[in-house]
A and B are shown apart, each in its own frame.
Chain A
Amino acid sequence: MNQIPLSHILFVSTALFFIGMYGLFTRRNMITMLMAVELILNSVNINFIAFNKYLYPEKLEGVFFSLFIIAIAAAEAAVAIAIIINLYRNLHSIDVEAADEMKF
């Protein structure tokens, strides 16, 4: 018995996705919001790998998709942290609601 149904893995990734979404809704610290986004990206990665393994075990499309998602997430995190540092320099706070200069 080395088998796990696909739905179990999808449940785990769905749970991670919505925990990340809850974090994105409720945190005001910009870096913690970024961490919630990373959580969401990783749950999507699990989905890609699981579908690749269960539906096309001899192919590698899902693995490459996840690989490129990881690469893009690294670039995104770097740019986002640069923006946050710039905001911190101007506002002296990383509260996302402090950046309301363009608020209508």
Chain B
Amino acid sequence: MGTTQLLFWFLSILAILGAILVVTSKNPVHSVLWLIVVFVAISGHYILLDAQFLAIVNLIVYAGAIMVLFLFVFMLMNLNADTEPQKNRWLKIAGVVTGGALLLVLVAALKKADLKAQMAEMGKGDIGLIHNLGLVLFKDYVVPFEISSVLFLSAMVGVVVIGKKAEEDKTTLGSQKYGG
């Protein structure tokens, strides 16, 4: 067992354990914190797979920005374990059976697949560094890059329109009439 393999097993167990705790913990704030652990583990996987820039982007965007957004929403709505709605036991069992059956099928298919020969040196390349990435991003992927900026603008406008408080009934009706 080399260092890479030890690291791989550690990160995998951390990710799966964290994911299980995300979906099972009663307190939604604990869910968010475990999700951050999962994202850190996944970033470690990215570094092992030579995608160093993506690992940092994952940490900043997911663990930094999106999870803070989630925590803020939990804080604004004053949610805790007491207000957490619970599904009944049968639905949980049904969820386990459904997810488990699909997982079984996929794992069986994966075991049959001829992937055993695919090996690669982990953590050896510098293809994922920002120099190489930037050269390709601004040559081959410049159109999707620009389109994603338009997407962000439209998402921002959409968030403001949806999240804005309707001041009075009159204005709500008026905005509905004009399709706003």
Q: Verify B62–A57 contact, CB threshold 8 A.
A: no
Q: Which of A7, A18, A97 makes the CB contact (< 8 A) with B113?
A: A7
Question: What are the 4 A-B residue pairs with the smallest beta carbon separation, nearest first?
Answer: A23-B23, A75-B155, A25-B95, A82-B163
Most buried by A among B53, B124, B133, B159: B159
Q: Closest B residue to A50 by CB, please name it.
A: B49
Q: Verify B99–A22 contact, CB threshold 8 A.
A: yes
Q: Closest A residue to B104 by CB, please name it.
A: A18
- Number of cross-chain contacts by CB at 8 Å: 232
Contacts A2-B123, A60-B136, A94-B77: A23 and B42 contacting too (C-beta < 8 A)?
no
- Cβ contacts under 8 Å, B120 to chain A: 3, 6, 53-54, 57
Q: Verify B28–A29 contact, CB threshold 8 A.
A: yes
Q: Which of B35, B70, B148 makes the CB contact (< 8 A) with A68?
A: B148
Q: Verify B125–A14 contact, CB threshold 8 A.
A: no
- Cβ contacts under 8 Å, A89 to chain B: 165
**B residues engaging A (CB < 8 A)?**
1-5, 8, 12, 15-16, 19-20, 22-23, 28, 31-32, 35, 38-39, 42, 45-46, 48-51, 53-54, 57-58, 61-62, 65-66, 69-70, 73-74, 76-77, 79, 84-87, 91-92, 94-96, 98-100, 102-103, 106-107, 110-111, 113, 115-116, 118-125, 127-128, 132-133, 136-137, 141, 144, 148, 151-152, 155-156, 158-159, 162-163, 165
- Cβ contacts under 8 Å, B76 to chain A: 85
> Does A99 sit at the interface, judged by CB under 8 A?
no
- Cβ contacts under 8 Å, A57 to chain B: 50, 120, 125, 127
Question: Chain B interface secondary structure, helix, strand, loop or mixed?
Answer: helix
Q: Verify A15–B62 contact, CB threshold 8 A.
A: no
> Smallest CB–CB gap between A65 and chain B, Å?
10
In the bound complex, what is the Cα–Cα distance between A93 and B78 (angstroms)? 11
> Does A55 sit at the interface, judged by CB under 8 A?
yes
Contacts A31-B28, A54-B118, A60-B136: A4 and B99 contacting too (C-beta < 8 A)?
no
> Smallest CB–CB gap between A24 and chain B, Å?
9
Q: Which of A21, A26, A46 makes the CB contact (< 8 A) with B91?
A: A26
